[in-house]
Chains A and B, each alone.
Chain A
Amino acid sequence: MSFMLKRIYDGFLYKPDKLQIHPLMGISIIFVQFGFLVLNKNWVLALLLTFIIFENVIFKNIRGSLSILWALLPIIVPLGGLTYIFGGWLLVYRVLMRLLVGGLGFSFFFSIVNPSDLTRSLEKLKIPAKIALIPSLALMMIPRIAKDAEDTFTTLKIRGEIKGFFLRWLPKVLAIFIASVIYRSEFLAQSLYFKGFGIQRRTHYRKISFRWVDLFRLFIWSSFIVCFILFDRYDLFYFFI
């Protein structure tokens, strides 16, 4: 468990030294990915995964994506096995592709989108600050919660509380973990209160602008959408194979 939590933390942590992306580009790409994920087209899943791996490489998030792959491994193996038993190879392919696209896509998004910049961009779009802060807090809290959970797990491990069959200790770990999440959210609310969040329209200490790299990604994703529509409409995929 500690192994997974550590990797979730590594895989979902924002990396300020990496190539950055305009937050609105990042969030729209995540939505597009979700749109494609709900489609039941097998070739789209393969193409989507290739795209996301390509993006992770371009944006130098290889470490993050490898971390997520490791974290997913203990889920992939039993899930793959069960799906094979109940649904066969095609279902295994569909389930695992979705898992990988989701995991790697989010790792990419979390690693290169600055949570505070996301709030700033949404605020620029006239979205109320209280709503604009929500995705940013989610981006910030997920790696932090993973770290808290890992610390809790490690301390319990050293205390000798984690031994034997996992169902014996897991409820205990989860109870402590949930309590710590509730407390953290309580403290976060207090922090927003005494730091004056939401009392007036905020200023931004730096500007976020579109750069060439954002336009390049916009082009790639637009091409992907156009290709999909063309392929789907005229059955070009079958024509190529």
Chain B
Amino acid sequence: MLKVKDLTVKYPTQRSYALKSVNFEAQIGEFIVVAGASGSGKSTLAQVLMTLIPNFTKAEISGDVSFNNLSFNEFTRENLVNTLGYVPQYPSDFTTSLLVEEEIVFLLENLAIDSEEILSSLNQVLEELGISKLKRRLIPELSSGELQRVFLASALAFTPPIIILDEPIARIDPKTEVKLVELLRNLADKGHLVIAFEHRLDYIATKADRLIILKKGKIVSDEHPSKNIEMLEEIDPPELSLIDSKNKYKILSLENHIDSKRIISRIKDANTSELFKLENKKPSDTAISLNHVNFRYNNKSNWILKDINLQFRKGESIGLMGINGCGKSTLMKVILGVEKVKEGEVWHKGRRIKNVRKGKKDSIYVPENAKLFLIGPTPVKDLERQLRNEEEVMEIYSKFKMQKLMKRKLYHLSEGERRLFALINSFHFQEDFILLDEPTIALDKKGRTILLELVKTAKNKGNTVILASNDPRIVTSLDRLIVIEKGNICLDGPPREVLYNLEQHTNLIPNQTVRFIQKLEKETGLSLPRILNPKEFNVLLKEAE
């Protein structure tokens, strides 16, 4: 049994406690999800459990963490490695090898496991996670989602009694999310303790035994997800739990807790013909255009992008979706002119872009690693480089209620806070094109709301915003969705059209609300409007009344 008793952690650089009097017990065979807003102490707790705090990060720490009555303070490293497996939030920082297969076997070799056993574990875990093709690939050449799966494989190849995962599904598509959560559930059923620290709770919360909610370093709730899910409404609510939450349907997932008969009896009489029709917007001027673009990194490698023809308009928000490694980030780099196209042309406002070095600056880009974007010692200094007006900077941060954190050193912020500052700052560069790579990683509900507000403001100014993300909580709110598969554009259109055709034309699955509607249609034979999110579903329920 894992026991955390009166755990309090305080970083020397911060006034407040990162964790305060945290108490919980966890049994082997449990699947626990820990949720909370950005900066609530999730990663700190994960690092304390892994003994990285205080061994690597300085912090005042009191209380005790023990496993089977043996305190972690008395653990030898051998004990630790044999007991705990860890998947960090940013796997790219933690790689120790160049080849995928060697990264996975590194831990097994260190534990002196027999070579035949290593090979069989390696092949088994590669197959389970569907990454056999990556076996001989180089780690620097992988996309972040692929790398996340490789790290999961390295933790799962040797399944210790406790597995700790810090945002394991932040970068992966909904289909892989379902597979991975099932895998974690199976591991728990086989007798492992699985603790996942996560923001994206749509599916994972439905399979968990317990949901621990952290708020400002304290545990505010620790129960079965069906009992405390409403407490997440202000933090990270699972998508379906927002459907008619006032009437407490308590919908957690498609499989369980669905009171579909009650819902169907309510909505079948609704006049749905006028609801959620596709809007016919007047097309605005073309801002960016890609003509017959083909791209590959070198002459011998495979084509990453194949015959891409796209037009992005002024004042448009576009989402790029696709399974990990499909070419989303590469397409962004091609649009920016960072990667030179081998065949075809990229045009920005009627000017051909050959190379970012030669082009006139008109775009801003926030990479997936937000650390690279921010260069001031504090967020406020970073934005001042651009605006040079302190009052204006203060006003911006006050508007988003970020004043408390704006003068904190960048490396003392949590990943979510840092990303949010990078996003806020990027939208104030006054550039025509804003490109964001996986902007929702580590963001909580507040962060996502701010992001959508920034996108809306930028659109109103006539800017074009392009986001590469598989996060359904964001992509459903955009004007247009483009699905890329194996370097080709598979679907391109309004999210309402794309998401309802996703399963037919691609290897992806849509978000839970769309799946829910499709399930209801199948069950009842009714033709329901194409609803994208719980907010729209609630409009439908209201209409029915």
Partner of A16, one of B55, B138, B356, B385: B138
B81 contacts chain A at the CB level, 8 A cutoff: yes
- List residues of chain B with CB within 8 A of the CB of A192: 96
Q: Are A203 and B56 in contact (CB under 8 A)?
A: no
Q: Does B122 contact A (CB under 8 A)?
A: yes
- Residue in B56, B106, B110, B300 whose Cβ sees the most chain A Cβ within 10 Å: B110
Q: Is the CB of A16 within 8 A of B99?
A: yes
Is there a chain A Cβ closer than 8 Å to B231's Cβ?
no
- In the complex, the answer to whether B140 meets A205 with C-beta atoms within 8 Å is no
Chain B residue with Cβ nearest A115: B98
From A16, A158, A161, A195, contact of B365 by CB (8 A): A158
Closest A residue by C-beta to B121: A205
**Could you mark each residue 473-502 of chain B with 1 if its beta carbon is under 8 Å from any beta carbon of chain A, else 0?**
000000000000000000000000000000
A196 and B77 contacting across the interface, CB-CB below 8 Å: yes
B291 within 8 A of partner (CB) = no
Contact B56 A186 (CB under 8 A): yes
Pick from B84, B90, B102, B115: contact of A194, CB under 8 Å: B84
Would you call A112 an interface residue if the criterion is a C-beta within 8 Å of the partner chain's C-beta atoms? Answer: no
Q: Which residues of B contact A140 (CB under 8 A)?
A: 96-98
Judge whether B364 and A159 touch: CB under 8 Å: yes
Write out, one digit per residue, whether chain B residues 448-474 have a CB within 8 A of any chain A CB (1) or not (0): 000000000000000000000000000
B105–A205 touching, CB < 8 Å? yes
User: How many Å lie between the Cα of A110 and that of B360 in the bound state?
Assistant: 37
- CB–CB B109/A147 < 8 A: no
State whether the Cβ of A94 lies closer than 8 Å to any Cβ in chain B: no
> In this assembly, does B526 line the interface, its C-beta being within 8 Å of a C-beta of chain A?
no
Name A63's contact: one of B90, B138, B298, B367 (CB within 8 Å): B298
* Residue A189 interfacial (CB < 8 Å): yes
- Total number of A-B contacts with CB less than 8 angstroms? 147
**Among B86, B114, B373, contact of A159 (Cβ-Cβ < 8 Å):** B373
Nearest chain B CB to A42 CB, angstrom units: 36
Contact pick for A161, options B78, B118, B119, B375, CB 8 Å: B375
Chain B's nearest CB lies how many Å from the CB of A159? 7
Instruction: Produce 1/0 per residue, A179-222, CB < 8 A to B.
Output: 01001101111111111111111111110000000000000000
Beta-carbon nearest neighbor of A63 in chain B: B298
User: CB-CB < 8 A to A172: which residues of B?
Assistant: 375
Are B98 and A14 in contact, CB atoms less than 8 angstroms apart?
yes
Query: In the complex the two chains form, what is the Cα distance from A203 to B117 in whole Å?
Result: 11
Contact B102 A203 (CB under 8 A): no
A240 to B367, CA, bound (A): 60
> Once the chains are docked, how many angstroms separate the CA of A152 from the CA of B370?
11
- B11 proximal to A (CB < 8 A): no
Look across to chain B and name the residue whose beta carbon is closest to the beta carbon of A198. B110
Interface size class for chain B? Answer: 35 or more
Given A116-B97, A147-B140, A194-B81, the answer on whether A205 and B118 have CB atoms closer than 8 Å is: yes
Residues A180 and B371 in contact, CB atoms below 8 Å apart: yes
Q: Is the CB of B105 within 8 A of A194?
A: no
Judging by beta carbons under 8 Å apart, are B99 and A199 in contact?
no
Given contacts A16-B136, A158-B338, A203-B114, contact A184 B97 (CB under 8 A): no
Contact of B93 among A17, A155, A157, A187 (CB under 8 A): A187
B254 at the interface (CB under 8 A from A): no
Chain B residues whose C-beta falls within 8 Å of the C-beta of A187 in the assembled complex: 88, 90, 93-94
Residues in A neighbouring B373, C-beta threshold 8 A:
155, 159
B429 contacts A by Cβ under 8 Å: yes
Interfacial chain A residues near B300, Cβ < 8 Å: 63
CB-nearest residue of chain A to B336: A158
Whether B93 and A144, one on each chain, are in contact in the complex, defined by CB atoms closer than 8 angstroms, is no
Any chain A CB within 8 A of the CB of B159? no
Cβ contacts A to B, 22 pairs, < 8 Å: A2-B357, A10-B298, A114-B102, A139-B98, A144-B95, A151-B372, A157-B357, A159-B429, A180-B372, A186-B56, A187-B93, A190-B52, A190-B56, A192-B96, A193-B77, A195-B107, A196-B110, A200-B111, A205-B109, A205-B118, A205-B119, A206-B119
Residues of chain A whose beta carbon lies under 8 Å from any beta carbon of chain B: 2, 9-10, 13-14, 16-17, 63, 114-116, 137, 139-140, 143-144, 147, 151-152, 154-161, 172, 176, 180, 183-184, 186-206
Given contacts A14-B99, A114-B98, A203-B112, 9 further A-B contacts (CB under 8 A): A14-B98, A116-B99, A137-B96, A140-B97, A143-B140, A202-B109, A203-B108, A203-B114, A205-B105
